[in-house]
């Protein structure tokens, strides 16, 4: 057990940090979002440095997860987790470009209009689709959160099945990716809010000096850091079902809290387009709903946990009355 990044992981994080510093100021991300674009340059920089192929390049899914979390924390407008973590682990090859993930043929999904490849969960099959222009149509939203898309009716006719067991594999990696991205997004929202309450003066003092604000932010920190570590552990454990589903459970449980509280602490300015908070918070509802959301993740977790009682500590020992 060693929860401190090793030298290689630190180098990766430093290098990703430099790319993100260059590419992801909130103003730029907002302008891309409002003009309906994908951050091609950020994607290209990360791909060129090999950070979207880490699971297949001698590093592993944990390193990929570290990168995805960091990109999400900086609100990068690309499909890092689908491209750099889920696709390599499910398809066992490097993604040829942006990847999007669709839960069945009918539901809107994130960033599909920019995808070179779409992985589709279709019952017990995972399908891979290289979409043509007619296969995907954007879904109108209000230019906050993620750009959303929908598959057209005929899209799946061109899809290729990834074979037996692929649906479960996709679901487990997708759950891991949800937790990884949610951890980053929520860390970004909390950090932005911590800065805001430090600068915002009311009643002659920064509002971050009020204990009601401090405690709520601290409680969010506890939730979000828990998601972060569960997400990394799930990636390290190759998205084993229990690890993946409980990470997604905790992410989906924390997301509404972080959304509600960080918006609340910002007051009116948090609802404006010019202020960047929405770059993080408005991503949470979609992450929170994917693959059936909290109830689906949690119930699946419960089923797995029920099969796996804690190993008895020693024969016939139970709790004493403490």
Partner 1 sequence: MNFDWTDEDNQYRQDVREFLAEALPPGWSGYDKNNLPKYKEDAGKFSQALAQRGWLTQNWPREYGGQEASPWRHAILNEELWPIGEPRGSQYMNVNWIGPAIMAAGTPEQKAYHLKRISAGDVFWCQGFSEPDAGSDLPALRTRAVRDGDDYVVNGAKIWTSHVGTADFCFLLVRTDPEASKRAGISILLTPMDLPGLEVRHIPGFVGEQSFHHLIFTDARVPADCRLGEENRGWDIVRRALSYERVGASHYGRAELILDKVLDEAERTGLIDDPEIQSRIGEVEAAIAASRLLTYRVVDIRAHGSPPTADTNVSRVAQTQALRLAGELAHIVFGEEGLKAHSAGDVRRVLAFSVAAGTTEMQLDQIASGHLNLPIFRG
> Taking the complex as a whole, how short is the minimal distance between the CB of residue 58 and partner 1, in angstroms?
15
Instruction: Tell me the pairing of strands 205-206 and 201-202.
Output: antiparallel
322 binds partner 1 (CB under 8 A): yes
- CB closer to partner 1 out of 94 and 217: 217
H or E stretch at 298: helix 293-307
Cβ neighbours, 10 Å, residue 271: 13
For tokens 């020992």, the residue is 317
246 binds partner 1 (CB under 8 A): yes
Tell me how far apart the alpha carbons of residues 214 and 210 are, in angstroms, rounded to a whole number: 6
CA atoms within 13 A on the CB side of 253: 18
- CB closer to partner 1 out of 7 and 274: 7
Q: Which of 249, 262, 281, 288 binds partner 1 (CB under 8 A)?
A: 249
Q: Residues with Cβ < 8 Å from 300, sequence gap 6 or more? A: 241, 245
301 binds partner 1 (CB under 8 A): yes
Both structure tokens of 126: 């995972």
- CB closer to partner 1 out of 114 and 228: 228
What angle, rounded to 10 degrees, do the helices at 241-266 and 211-236 form?
Answer: 160
Binding mask 54-83 for partner 1 (x = CB under 8 A): --------x---x-----------------
CA distances to 151, 161, 238, 241 from 122, in Å? 12, 10, 22, 18
- CB closer to partner 1 out of 92 and 219: 219
Contact region for partner 1 (CB under 8 A) — 23-31, 137-145, 146-154, 200-208? 200-208
Chain residues binding partner 1 by CB under 8 A are 1-6, 9, 62, 66, 190, 194, 197-198, 205-206, 208-211, 213-215, 217-219, 221-222, 225-227, 229-230, 232-233, 236-237, 245-247, 249-250, 253, 294-295, 297-303, 305-306, 309-310, 313-322
């Amino acid at each position: 057990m060693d929860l401190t990044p090793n030298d290689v992981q630190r180098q990766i994080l430093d290098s990703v940090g430099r790319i993100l510093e260059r590419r992801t100021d909130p103003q730029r991300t907002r302008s891309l979002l409002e003009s309906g674009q994908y951050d091609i340059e950020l994607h290209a920089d990360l791909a060129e440095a090999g950070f979207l192929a880490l699971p297949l390049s001698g590093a592993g899914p944990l390193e990929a997860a570290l990168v995805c979390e960091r990109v999400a924390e900086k609100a990068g407008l690309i499909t890092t987790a689908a491209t750099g973590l889920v696709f390599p682990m499910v398809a066992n090859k490097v993604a040829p470009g942006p990847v999007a993930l669709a839960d069945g043929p009918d539901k809107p999904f994130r960033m599909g209009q920019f995808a070179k490849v779409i992985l589709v969960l279709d019952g017990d099959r995972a399908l891979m689709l290289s979409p043509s222009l007619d296969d995907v149509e954007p879904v109108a939203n209000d230019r906050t959160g993620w750009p959303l898309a929908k598959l057209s009716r005929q899209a799946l006719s061109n899809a290729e099945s990834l074979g037996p067991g692929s649906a479960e594999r996709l679901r487990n990696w997708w759950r891991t990716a949800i937790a990884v991205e949610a951890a980053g997004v929520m860390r970004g929202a909390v950090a932005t809010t911590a800065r805001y309450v430090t600068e915002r003066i009311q009643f002659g003092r920064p509002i971050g000096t009020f204990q009601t604000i401090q405690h709520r932010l601290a409680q969010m920190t506890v939730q979000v850091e828990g998601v972060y570590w569960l997400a990394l552990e799930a990636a390290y454990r190759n998205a084993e079902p229990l690890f993946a589903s409980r990470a997604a459970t905790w992410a989906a449980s924390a997301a509404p809290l972080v959304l509600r509280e960080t918006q609340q602490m910002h007051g009116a300015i948090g609802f404006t387009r010019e202020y960047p908070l929405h770059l993080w918070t408005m991503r949470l509802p979609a992450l929170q709903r994917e693959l059936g959301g909290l109830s689906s993740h949690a119930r699946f977790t419960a089923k797995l946990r029920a099969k796996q009682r804690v190993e008895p500590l020693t024969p016939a020992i139970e709790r004493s009355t403490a």
